Every structure is written in C-alpha cells, then in structure tokens.
Amino acid sequence: MYWSLLFPIILYHTLSVNCATEGNRGNEEEADGATSTWTGGTRHMQDFLHLTRQCLSDLQRWMRPETLEEEQSSEPDWGLPRDDSWYPMHLLSDWYSRVTENKESLNSRINNNLTGLQWYLDNRVHGQHLAVTLIPPYLERFLNDEKHRKSLTLSFHGWTGTGKNFVARIIAENLYKNGQRKMCVQVFIPQLHFPHPSNLEAYKVLLGRQIKEVLSHCSQPMFLFDEADKIPSGLISSLLPFLAPGQIIQSIFIFLSSIGSNAINEVTLNFWQAGRRREEITVDDLDRPLRAAIRESQDDMSLLRQLMEEDLIDSLVPFLPLERAHVKLCAQDSFVARGLPYTENALEMVTQELQFLPQKEKLFSAQGCKLVSQRINLIKNE
C-alpha cells in the first residue's frame, strides 16, 4: 500500500533531479567539459548517500508517528533547522499537509503580537537602541498595509553575538504562535543549504521552489537568511520575483550579515572617545558608512550589494558592539531563565575570561553575548 502511494512521488522527484542534472551538465560541458555537478566526485556521492539515509528515516517516521513525537520533544525551539523541503519525502509530507489542513488552520499560525514584540525587544535585547526602535514600526506598517505593494526586507548588520539572531527569534515568536518551528518561518544557512558553488543552478531552482512552497502553506511567511554575506550572489535571480515591487505577497525577508560591522564599531568607538553616550548614535550616523561597506564588500556583486542597488532593502538595521555592562545583563537574563540565583560577583566572573577589544581600550566584547551560557556552565561546575 505504502509503495503504491510512494512510487509516483519518488518517480516525479527522480525525473526532476535528472532534469536539473542534465541542465547542469549542459552548462558545465560548454564551459569546461566537466561532468554532472550532482555525481562528479566523492563529496557529492557522500551527499547522495546522506540523502538516501534521510529518505529512509523520513519514511520510518511517517509510518511510525510516535517516533516523530519522540524526536520533536527533544528538539530545541531555536536550533539549526532541518529543512525537509530539500528532500524527496517533502513531496509526501506536503501532500499530507494539504489534505489535512484548511485555510483557517493555516491562518491560525499567525499571531502578530506587536505589543509582546516591543516588550521583548525593550526588556531582553541589551545595548541595541537602534534595532529596538527601528524594527517595530516597519513591521507594524507592513502588517497593517492590506495592499502589500512590496515584501518587507530588513537587513541586520553587526558583530557576532550582538543579537541579530536573537532579535529574529523574538520576531518569529511574536508573529507566529509557535515561532521558529512552524511552517510559516523558513531559515536558510549558506553552509547548510548552498554549500557547493558548483551546484548554483540547482540551488536557484530549489530556492525558488522552497519559497513557493512556504507561500502555499502560509499567508504571511517569514524567510530568514543567516550569514547573508556568504550566500552565492547568483541566487539573486531566484529572490527578485518575491522581493520586487508589484508582487502581491505578504512576506517578510530578513538578512543577517557581518558586513559593515567594522564601520559600526568604529563609529561607536568614536562616540565613546568623544565622551558621548552610545544612545546618542542615530541611524544617520551609521547609514552612510554602512552603505559604503556594503558597496566595498570583497565580492563586487554580493547579494546584499545587489539588493541595495535595486533599492529592495527597506531598512539597514545596525547592531552595535556590546560593552561589559551589556554582557552582564545577558548573563543576568540567562541566570533567571535557568532559575539560578546570581550575585554581582557571579556576573563579574562571567565576563572575566571573555575577550574585549580594541586592545588598548578593551571596551567591546569580541563575541558579544555568545559565550555567556558557556561561561555560566563553567561557573556552575567550579
């Protein structure tokens, strides 16, 4: 019974992959006579074997739902996403969801709790007054615009650990009832989804297909692109149809990047050296250096540069480097979230082994709040 259902689906996927492979083979043979990008080399054979194991695992979980429930119970809310849509079994799960879900249940995923969003930004995001004030108005205007002349596109820029991913998580959790894990929110990570430049043509097709699939499942999808500076610039052709004005699509695109972080840090340091408070820094103080950094990025035709030149980015959101006081606030939140008591001495111990830059001033945490949880674990075990 199961194989009679699976056979046409697997056959369809096999033909689709073969078509993509033939297209890639034709392009490469014209360029340098290379063989298919999907089968050329040990690395791709390993990818294929991993894919086969994943398909068998997906089949087992589908036939035994209790296995899936056990896995989901241990899966963190904000971990690396398992992107089923890139696997053949997604065709089956997609068919199942279309049969069992109706429009009302799809819309029930959407929460749009802007009050909760503002509260979490004000109380859980430290040292980022620009991000806290910039993001909510853009989201509110977009969500209240019934015509949706254009998808909302935000680009987060800053050092690692400054809160870019954390803020994206807060947005997801307040716009959708189950945040990151629901089908309305899709995360793309270059190393995970676009690892091999030689497969660019296939990635273009798969990315466009993936976005369309999410659009078919949710009336207000959110797409998050982590480490956007590492996304192949050639994928712009797959994104333009969903970002360009005139598209009636209620979608939110968020790009996270470290491009421009040095410019942001330099402006913040200049304010400190001049004896001015960091809260005095305005968007205008950072807009020009940030745009200049994007234009001067190593890849002359980087994805973010193309989006900026096409005027498709609604707002560049800068994330400032975090100072020692901000890291202590992150540590305090972490202690409270774990239900652990803390003292000022414990908060100070969290920051003692962290690296602060520049070398002379030792003002900004090199890793932001990224290593706070690790430091608390070490303190607990001492």
Residue 218's domain is classified under what CATH number?
Answer: 3.40.50.300
Same domain, 243 and 331: no
Q: What is the domain range of residue 92?
A: 1-17+58-64+81-100
Helix (H) or strand (E) holding 186: strand 185-188
Query: Among all chains, which residue has been given the structure tokens 């774990």?
Result: 338
Same domain, 313 and 354: no
Alpha helices, H only, the chain = 2-31, 42-63, 65-73, 89-100, 103-107, 114-124, 129-144, 164-175, 190-193, 200-217, 236-243, 261-273, 283-295, 303-309, 324-337, 344-352, 372-381
Query: Which of 275, 294, 319 is at the close of a domain?
Result: 319
Same domain, 338 and 250: no
Same domain, 266 and 335: no
Residues 6+ apart with CB under 8 A from 59: 2, 6, 89
Q: Which residues of 14-37 are buried (b: 16+ CB within 10 A; e: fewer)?
A: eeeeeebbeebbeebeeeeeeebb
Same domain, 273 and 141: yes
C-alpha torsion 153→156→157→161, nearest 10: -160
Residue 48 included in any domain: no
Residue 73 included in any domain: no
Predicted TM-score of the model (pTM)? 0.72
Same domain, 341 and 231: no
Q: What is the mean pLDDT of each run of 10 residues along the chain (382 residues)?
A: 45 44 42 36 46 48 43 37 41 42 56 95 98 97 82 96 97 83 87 92 95 89 94 91 76 96 97 97 97 82 87 96 97 94 93 92 95 87 66
Q: How many domains does the chain have?
A: 3
Residue 348 included in any domain: yes
Same domain, 264 and 349: no
Residue 304 included in any domain: yes
pLDDT for residue 379:
79
Same domain, 357 and 266: no
Residue 1 included in any domain: yes
pLDDT for residue 125:
98
Residue 105 included in any domain: no
Residue 143 included in any domain: yes
Same domain, 158 and 184: yes
Same domain, 222 and 121: yes
Task: Assign 315 to helix, strand or coil.
Answer: strand
Same domain, 249 and 189: yes
Distance CA 160, CA 50 (A): 31
Distance CA 161, CA 126 (A): 11
Residue 294 included in any domain: yes
Same domain, 307 and 352: no
pLDDT for residue 247:
64
